[in-house]
Structure 1
Amino acid sequence: MSEHGVRAAQALVDDTLALLAALDDGDWSADSACHGWRVHDVVTHMGFFFNFIADPDLVLPDNPSGTSERLNDAAVRERADWSSADAIAYYREQSTAGLATLSALQGEELRDAPLAMLDLGTYRMSELSNAVAFDHLVHLTCDLMEPFGPVARTEVSVGEAIDPAVDWMMAGLPQMNGAALHPVLSTPLGLRLTGATERTFVIERADDGVAVRETDDLPSDVATSEATDFLRWGTARSAWRSAVTRDGDHAHIAAVLDAIDIV
């Protein structure tokens, strides 16, 4: 289960509402660090994610690509002409409904039910709270707020949210990036995260795919990064080379890290 993810999502919703209350007209129209999206678009996207979670009858935009990123682009376009007041009201309404749904999904009857999420893979229902924590934490700290985004930085519940966000990234990595990782994972790679959380993982081949396990027993090749930096380079928002220390076979580590792009 991920009750920790639910708590993180609630904290990040509170952070987001505080941020929205402080935005002026210039902030809303400014380009975010999320390619092609304004601040306005990032906000409506975060509301749409909650809308998707809370409303099983939601009519989704046309999405011939079948990919989650193009679905999100289409949803943003549908809401592009909304006023900032409408965007805030939408986010407030959908986050309230979405948080209630995330709590319900932790219950025994639903928590382990599978949910297919287009090209992202299949997850347990209870893991949706981790997905929200990841999505919000990345958009707030990497796309909206300075130094990467255009909005003056305010408080963000990084300590509460970082572990659920990392849990989502590690659950998603084999499903989202397995095809690209399998050919270059000639030997296992260790990933050590530091700073906001201290965790270690091994990424390795498993049958025809890739597996990730959390362990203190790391192989000879290890990539070490601040956990908050991993939010950026693990989603291909920045280059890993400026944020990662490599121990072992540098070429092997580079090939593996080049193949990581988590959504």
Structure 2
Amino acid sequence: MSDAGVTAAKALVNDTLALLDRLTPEDWAADSACHGWRVHDVVTHMGFFFNFIADPNLVFPDNPSGKSERLNDAAVRERADWTSEQAVEYYRAQSDAGLATLAALQGEDLRDQPLDMLDLGTYRLSQLSDAVAFDHLVHLTSDLLQPFGPVDSAEVSVSAAIDPAIDWMIAGLPQMNGAALYPTLGQPIGLHLTGATDRSFVLDRDTAGTIVTVRETADLPADVATSSATDFLRWGTTRSAWRSAVTISGDRRHLAAVLDAVDVV
């Protein structure tokens, strides 16, 4: 289960609501650091994610690409002409319903049920709370708030959210990036995250098929990439270059090929 993800989602919703209460008209119209989206668009996107979770009858925008990011773009376009008051009302209503749903999805009868999420892969319903923690934490810290975004800095519950966010990224890596990662993994590599949390993982591939595996362990191989956990949120989503944030130990060429293939959504 991911009860920690539910706790993180609740904390990040409170952070977001506090932020929305102080946004100026200029803030709402400003370009965020999420390419092509204004602050307004990021807020409606976060509301839409909760809407997707809470409403099984939600009608999705047309999305012939079958890609999750294009679906998000389409949902943002549908809400682009809303007033800021409408955007806030939507976020408040959907986050309230979404948090209740996330808590319910931790129940024994639902938590392990599979959910197909387009090109992102298939996950347990209980993992949606980790997905929300990841989505909110990245959008708040990397897209909306300074120093990367346009809005004055504010308190964000990083300590509560960092581990669920990383859990989502690690669960997503083999599914979202497996096809690109598999050819590069000539041998296992280690990923050591520090700072807001301290966790270590090994990325490897099976010998019989084309499956990339990620397991958490302190027993790391010779090739290791070390990064702060908060930097991983940025370079692991290609918002910044890993070369400016990662310390390499071992075969740099091998590690570079693997890290170049990481792009978590």
Normalised by the length of structure 1, the TM-score is: 1.00
Is 1:64 equivalent to 2:64 in the alignment?
yes
Is 1:256 equivalent to 2:261 in the alignment?
no
Q: In the aligned structure 2, how far is the partner of 1:169 from the partner of 1:35?
A: 20
Partner letter of residue 10 of structure 1? K
Partner letter of residue 169 of structure 1? M
Partner letter of residue 259 of structure 2? L
State the superposition RMSD in angstroms: 0.3
Q: Secondary structure at the match of 1:236?
A: coil
CA offset digits 1:28-86 (Å, max 9, x no partner): 00000000000000000000000000000000000000000000000000000000000
Equivalent position of 1:229 in the other structure: 231
Is 1:177 equivalent to 2:172 in the alignment?
no
Equivalent position of 2:11 in the other structure: 11
Equivalent position of 1:238 in the other structure: 240
Q: In the aligned structure 2, how far is the partner of 1:169 from the partner of 1:110?
A: 22
Q: In the aligned structure 2, how far is the partner of 1:59 from the partner of 1:182?
A: 35
Q: Secondary structure at the match of 1:192?
A: strand
Q: Secondary structure at the match of 1:196?
A: coil
Q: In the aligned structure 2, how far is the partner of 1:12 from the partner of 1:189?
A: 32
Q: Secondary structure at the match of 1:64?
A: coil
Q: Secondary structure at the match of 1:259?
A: coil
Give 1:1-263 correspondences, 5 Å limit.
1-206=1-206, 207-263=209-265
Question: Offset of 1:208 from its aligned partner?
Answer: 1.0
Deviates more, 1:207-216 or 1:11-20: 207-216
Q: In the aligned structure 1, how far is the partner of 2:239 from the partner of 2:101?
A: 30
Q: In the aligned structure 2, how far is the partner of 1:231 from the partner of 1:62?
A: 29
Partner letter of residue 121 of structure 1? G
Question: Offset of 1:209 from its aligned partner?
Answer: 1.5
Percent identity of the aligned residues?
Answer: 76
Partner letter of residue 84 of structure 1? S
Question: Offset of 1:109 from its aligned partner?
Answer: 0.2
Q: Secondary structure at the match of 1:183?
A: helix
Q: In the aligned structure 2, how far is the partner of 1:96 from the partner of 1:104?
A: 13
Aligned length: 263
CA offset digits 1:126-177 (Å, max 9, x no partner): 0000000000000000000000000001000000000000000000000000
Normalised by the length of structure 2, the TM-score is: 0.99
Q: In the aligned structure 1, how far is the partner of 2:261 from the partner of 2:218?
A: 23
Q: Secondary structure at the match of 1:128?
A: helix
